[in-house]
Amino acid sequence: MRAGRPGSGPGEEGASSAEAPRDASQQQGPPQQGASQQQGEESGDVPVKNPFAIPGLQKADVDPQLNDSYTFERFIEGDCNQLARGAAWAISQAPGTTRFNPFLIYGGVGLGKTHLIQAIGNYVERQGAGSQTVLYVSSERFTTEFVRAIQNNRINEFSMFYRQIDVLIVDDVQFFSGKEKTQEEFFHIFNALQQNGRQIVLSADRAPREIDGIEERLLSRFQQGLAADVQPPELETRIAILRRKAEDDGIELPEEIIEFMAHNIKSNIRELEGALIRLMAHASLHQDDLDLSLAKDVLGDLVSERRSALTVEEIQRIVCEHLSVEEDALRGKTRKRDVVRARQIAMYFCKKRTDHSLKTIGLHFGGRDHSTVIHSNNRVEEQMEVDPEFEKTVEDLRRKIDLRSR
């Protein structure tokens, strides 16, 4: 059983994790001296007589405070996080020996920072079989422990404890802002660890230079190694995340729902996974079939469909992209077969999916009159009845347009 360290709380959720660690406010600190075994068991902590062990006198068996689900295998890599993921993997292979020390990942909330930094710790723990001491701690927890150490006149023990860690992972360092004594203590611990070849991994919600209230000397330390940012995931990564999440939960999620959510929920991974949980909960409680109509109804307040109504230009863009036709060609005079087909389909959807008059729609297609729009609409409907391949093309486009429409 692991014991002998101050508890630490997790930061944000990771890129594709199915389960987040407990909030820092719910974690219990190191038990005070005299705490009973029963109290420890009820609070979820392991009672210890000395929460800070002094190297050379007593080697602490440190609980790394890691979430086991935060691994590299479960992290979805994309262009948005490629550098950060690559550096994290390199560090995990040889902590403390690469040029990425310290390693700081920064970016907005819910983008996978905590997942990546804990993945480093989990890999080192798994591969090293306990040969290296790993510790994950939030900056808020570090500060709370430091204040408690001051109150109990145990600052030296606090400092010695942290200086024995081989891989120290500190989440959300922006919360050190304005805490001068905490920054000073962390600065000295930081220096001691670096001088001894230990690995330091950090996360923040913005680039180091944009963090107010952090001393210049500490900011310079943060930037000595590598600072890598993570961005909101692009469409393909959002789709992959949703597929992984559904697979982990044993859910058969229709592709049209995955695409609908991925196209419309773009801000961060946490919101994306939260939307899936909400949808599944609604379907389960109300015994509803999982389909696109249900997803639109349940997630109406989350998706970015709140933007303006579907425009003729957007329909033209979707059709041209799908059929590999230049948009300008739709508005031109060319009578090439592939262009005529694309023009007729685009006019068909403009009539079906917008409130524009036939005359207005025609004007968007190079000044054509309303009769051309009517002819195009009739031609598409007739061809769908006799040509299954053409019908499939139109249905594929209908699905793509519906994903972007109200």
Per-residue model confidence as pLDDT tens digits over 85-111: 999 999 999 998 889 999 999 998 889
What pLDDT shows up at residue 130?
A: 62
Supply φ then ψ for residue 176, to 5 degrees: -75, -10
From the list 221, 198, 195, 190, the residue with the least C-alpha distance to 208 is 221
Q: Answer whether residue 44 shows pLDDT above 80.
A: no
Q: Answer whether residue 177 shows pLDDT above 60.
A: yes
Question: Looking at the DSSP assignment, which residues form a beta bridge with residue 199?
Answer: 167
What pLDDT shows up at residue 309?
A: 65
Q: Do 112 and 210 form a contact (C-beta atoms < 8 A)?
A: no
Residues of the chain with CATH 1.10.8.60: 235-306
Q: Answer whether residue 396 shows pLDDT above 80.
A: yes
Residue 59 pLDDT level (bands cut at 50, 70, 90): low
Q: Which residues of 60-85 are buried (b: 16+ CB within 10 A; e: fewer)?
A: bebbbbbbebbbbebbbbbebbeebb
Residues of the chain with CATH 1.10.1750.10: 312-403
Distance CA 381, CA 386 (A): 9
C-alpha dist (Å) from residue 277 to 251, 344, 350, 392: 11, 40, 34, 32
Supply φ then ψ for residue 57, to 5 degrees: -110, -45
Residues of the chain with CATH 3.40.50.300: 24-229
Topology of 312-403 in CATH?
Chromosomal Replication Initiator Protein Dnaa; Chain: A; (1.10.1750)
What pLDDT shows up at residue 60?
A: 61
Q: What is the DSSP letter of 326?
A: -
Percent of residues, the chain, with pLDDT higher than 90: 43
Q: Answer whether residue 46 shows pLDDT above 60.
A: no
Q: Answer whether residue 293 shows pLDDT above 60.
A: yes
pLDDT in tens, 142-159: 999 999 999 999 999 999
In the CATH hierarchy, which top-level class contains the domain 235-306? mainly alpha
Torsion of CA 121, 124, 128, 130, to 10 degrees: -10
pLDDT in tens, 333-347: 888 999 999 999 999
Angle at CA of residue 233, ends 200 and 206, nearest 5°: 45
Tell me the pairing of strands 134-138 and 226-229. unpaired
The model's pTM is 0.63
Which residue has 């959720």 as its token pair? Answer: 13
C-alpha dist (Å) from residue 282 to 184, 290, 393: 50, 10, 32
Q: Do 262 and 140 form a contact (C-beta atoms < 8 A)?
A: no
Topology of 24-229 in CATH?
Rossmann fold (3.40.50)
The DSSP result for 136-194, as a single string, is EEEHHHHHHHHHHHHHTT-HHHHHHHHHT-SEEEEE-GGGGTT-HHHHHHHHHHHHHHH
Q: Answer whether residue 39 shows pLDDT above 50.
A: no
Mean model confidence pLDDT for the chain: 81
Per mean pLDDT, which range of 69-73, 94-98, 220-224, 278-282 is the poorest? 278-282
Distance CA 138, CA 140 (A): 5
C-alpha dist (Å) from residue 363 to 200, 314, 323, 359, 373: 62, 15, 22, 6, 10
Which span out of 187-196, 257-266, 351-360 was modeled with the highest average pLDDT? Answer: 187-196
For 277, the 3-state DSSP assignment is: helix
Higher-confidence position of 47 and 308? 308
Which span out of 5-14, 116-125, 282-291 was modeled with the highest average pLDDT? Answer: 116-125
Angle at CA of residue 67, ends 66 and 73, nearest 5°: 110
Average pLDDT over residues 13-29: 39
What pLDDT shows up at residue 307?
A: 46
What pLDDT shows up at residue 11?
A: 39
Per mean pLDDT, which range of 165-169, 287-291, 304-308 is the poorest? 304-308
